[in-house]
Amino acid sequence: MRQLLLKTLHHIRKNKVRTGFIGGTACIIIYGYNAKVSPVKVATALVRTGRAGGYVLKAASLYKYRTWGVAEDDKETMSEIHKKTAEAICDLCSVNGGLFIKVGQHIGTLDYLLPKEYVQAFKILHAGAPESSLDSVKKVVAAELGAKLEDVFSEFDPSPIGSASLAQVHRAVLRSSNKEVAVKVQHSTVHEHSKIDTVVIEFLAKLMDKVFPEFEFDWLIDTIKRNLPKELDFVQEGQNCEHVSMLFNDTPFMKVPKIYWEFTSRRVLCMEYIVGGMVDDAEYMKANGINKSEVLGYLSKIFSQMIFERGYIHCDPHPGNVMVQKVEGKTCLVLLDHGLYQTLTDDFRINYCKLWQALLKGDTERIKKQAQRLGVGKYYGLFACMVASRTWDDITGSGITDKNSNLDVNRLQEEAVRQIPEISQVLNYIPRQLILILKTNDLLRGIECSLLNRNTQGVGTFLNMARYCLSALTTHKLHKSTSLRRTAVIYYTYTVCMVKLRLLRFLYWVSLTRVGGYCEKFLPSHVAF
């Protein structure tokens, strides 16, 4: 026991960790009863837990005491507090890696929900996740494929082309077929650290509940426990990749990498190598002659089909997982990272379609009714605002298709900051399927804001969503139709609505061109669906 303690303290001193006693004590208790656990593992648990506890306590103290007596309209002071807290938590995510980076990546997509200081600080995690050494990569490949890396690949770039929270990707060339491939290799310590991190995050969430009783983080803990084992299995990711490729084989502007199964295992995924830029990289699009509005249209079509028609949703949508390329003069989106998908039941999908229909019309009673059917209950008002990215006044005024009901990012951020406790309660209360849909909405609107760099956008995404929502509802009604007259009415209503939507989409496209100012006056103030 004395030797264990000395080695643990030496490891802590070597890593220059000053905090750690609160969380570390918990880890020692957890691992101390297991005699098979090495001193290094105990020390690692102590270091990671202590580091997380120290950073979170620092963030909590900033908000608990630095905001004491500060007026809500003192933007300069609040901005400084937001910046310091965001930088501290971002540093924690970068150093600890793994699950911490996944949480940080999601924060980086919430352009319109969180203060801009958080969004700016966490954006770096999409492309700047910590990298594993080449020696570490070689060990994982050898252990998983049963052969040395040099025997499998004739070329293997030592520097990864991308690094994420759980793995990193290298360009390589297969020795057997001379094909260029992308090899996704799981970080060697991710599996081991994930168990520690799950306990740590749960511990910190409980701690935050005590410090800030108005916040609830059970939804985050539940999501991590449910999804992490699936994301750590690259065989399942390959199967998901092939399934979504089959579902979208009729979508020419979407591409999914081919999987090479003979070189794939639980921790190594070998797939087709595809060149492109990140979907929110405006400079790349400009250099390659790619139309940003076209990219946004394709993006919203793909994810709208997933939600409204296919009922099969990509669960980790952030800009780092979507690439854009131009091949033979045609723009194409490449969907990456298929580790986790969510299948929606038909009842859930149709009820969500009806909620969107009510939002488009600004029908308060129907919004309340459909939100309750989805399990939202008393939080229907705030949930509707989160889905539509509009204030309640905008939604109930004339509907979110009103040309004057634009996506005002600054106003939404200010409103969201004041309602963070209520938002956390909504996320803890609503079904988990809805949380994934909200993440998808975050991706679409966040990218639209970053590419077009205007607060007055959001219409294009809504119009594409409305199109597929209408299509799904029409198909559902036709399946239930029992008379020729009823079928004819459904087709007529669908046709009229689609004509209106196409007109709105055309006018929206024109509004993004030089003649937009002239055509703006022709945009109808409201369209009834």
Residues labelled catalytic: 316
CB atoms within 10 A of CB 60: 17
Q: 88 is written with which tokens?
A: 């501290």
Distances (CA, A) of 80 to 110, 409, 498: 19, 20, 48
Name the nearest CA neighbour of 313 among 321, 325, 323, 303. 303
Round to whole Å and give the CA distance between 172 and 150.
11
Give CA–CA dist 220/227, Å, rounded.
11
Burial class (CB in 10 A: 0-12, 13-18, 19+), 522: exposed
Strand arrangement of the beta sheet that strand 322-327 belongs to: 254-255, 330-335, 322-327, 277-278
Q: Centre a 10 Å sphere on the Cβ of residue 257 and count the other Cβ atoms it contains.
A: 22
DSSP SS3 for 280? coil
Give the phi and the psi of residue 190 in degrees, each rounded to 5. -60, -45
Residue 344 burial (C-beta neighbours within 10 Å; 0-12, 13-18, 19+): buried
- CA 247 – CA 310 distance, rounded (Å): 8
What string of DSSP letters covers 116-128? HHHHHHHGGGGT-
DSSP string, 456-513: T--HHHHHHHHHHHHHHHHHHHHHH--SHHHHHHHHHHHHHHHHHHHHHHHHHHHHTS
Regarding beta strands 167-174 and 162-163, do their DSSP bridges make them parallel or antiparallel, or are they unpaired?
antiparallel
Collapse the DSSP code of 366 into the 3-class scheme (helix H, G, I; strand E, B; otherwise coil) and give the result.
helix
Give the DSSP per-residue string, 180-238: EEEEEEE-TTHHHHHHHHHHHHHHHHHHHHHH-TT---HHHHHHHHHHHHHHT-HHHHH
- What's the sign of the alpha-carbon dihedral 243, 102, 189, 36? negative
